[in-house]
Amino acid sequence: MDNQHIFHLINGAIEAVNQVIPIPLTRGQTQRIASPLEQQDLGVLVSFFGDIKGQLVYMFSVEYAKQFSNEMFGMTLEGEMLDSFVGELGNMLTGNWATHIVHSVCVDIAPPIVLQGPTQLSINANAFLVPFLGENGEFKIYLLLDN
């Protein structure tokens, strides 16, 4: 996959965040990363397949997830409801991403996998980090493209 395609996929993820997340975020510099990925609180992994294969992984603190739920639904979710919300947020972001990239590649997405607590993912893929900074910390998107 050439750099222009990767740039398009990353920009699709940035646009998805801008359209779905209702709180102000400042995007940090995108960077290529190596394994492993580590997260502290909550994450969502959504696989995609079709013209390209890989995963989008969204990682954020519990406080961020609660802030997202409050902004989107007018109430702060906790426990199982927060976990369900986080999975649906991953679906919304990935579905929106898929619509942004559809003019160059076609993908289908799998159901989300919610990651709770400290998690380490070892990867064998081209991996890119797109960090966003906000009032309550950092929200990260990892784009993992299968080799």
Looking at residue 138, its pLDDT comes to 84
The count of structural domains within the chain is 1
Residue pointed to by tokens 């740039």: 7
3-class SS at 121? strand
Structure tokens at 25: 């975020």
The dihedral of CA 35, 40, 46, 51: what is its sign?
negative
| Host domain of residue 53 | 3-146
Rounded alpha-carbon distances, angstroms, from residue 13 to 17, 55, 70, 73, 97: 6, 12, 22, 22, 5
The dihedral of CA 20, 25, 28, 34: what is its sign?
negative
Q: What CATH number is attached to the domain comprising 85?
A: 3.40.1550.10
Give dist(CA 88, CA 7) in Å, integer. 25
Give dist(CA 38, CA 122) in Å, integer. 9
Q: What is the pLDDT along the chain (147 residues), one digit of tens a residue?
A: 678 888 999 999 999 999 998 888 899 999 998 867 777 789 999 999 999 999 999 998 888 889 889 988 899 999 999 999 999 999 999 999 999 998 888 999 999 999 988 877 777 778 999 999 887 778 899 999 986
Looking at residue 1, its pLDDT comes to 67
Looking at residue 118, its pLDDT comes to 80
Rounded alpha-carbon distances, angstroms, from residue 83 to 1, 2, 131, 141: 34, 36, 21, 18
